[in-house]
Amino acid sequence: MNELTTRQEAFAQHFVITGNGAEAARRAGYAPVGARVTASRLLTKPNVQAEIAAERRAHEHTMGTSRDQVAAELMGVVDLARERGDVRGMIAALREIGLVCGYYEHEGNSRPVWPG
């Protein structure tokens, strides 16, 4: 696998934190104009994908949690909201579960975009 450039490594770190490719590209020092295209290109590179996966594992280790644990806790929030009749709370928690599970990504949009 090819070595990462400094900016590619920074992109991976920022992508894990923000979940937004265009924002991660800008923070990593890529040109703001065309940041979405740059992010899209970077996200197809196997070495960048591997670095993103490694960053996520490092965050899980640091936080002492995992994606599954976060999703399980959020399901508890859904159950609590359901008991209270809080439909908005249920929707918000389910939306967060979708984000945690990677069902959709924010790509500079104000609304989630379903992949595929």
**In CATH, what number is assigned to the domain containing residue 56?**
1.10.10
pLDDT bucket at 68, cuts 50 / 70 / 90: confident
Looking at the fold, whether 45 and 73 belong to one and the same domain comes out as no
**Which tokens hold the place of 96?**
């967060």
Same domain, 52 and 102: no
Does one domain contain both 3 and 47?
yes
- Do 58 and 90 share a domain, yes or no? no
Beta carbons of 105 and 113 less than 8 angstroms apart: yes
pLDDT of residue 39: 93
Q: Are 9 and 51 in contact (CB under 8 A)?
A: yes
For 81, the domain range is: 65-116
Q: What is the CA radius of gyration of the chain?
A: 16
User: Which strand (E) or helix (H) includes residue 54?
Assistant: helix 46-63
Closest by Cα among 9, 13, 11 to 22: 11
pLDDT in tens, 11-60: 999 988 888 899 999 999 999 999 999 999 999 999 999 998 888 888 77
pTM for the full predicted model: 0.60
- Does residue 46 sit in the same domain as residue 8? yes
Binning pLDDT at 50, 70 and 90, where does residue 113 land? very low
The stretches of 19-86 forming alpha helices (DSSP H) are 21-27, 35-43, 46-63, 67-84
For position 112, what pLDDT does the model report? 47
Same domain (yes/no): 43, 72? no
Tally of structural domains, the chain: 2
Mean pLDDT of 48-75: 82
47 and 73 housed in the same domain: no
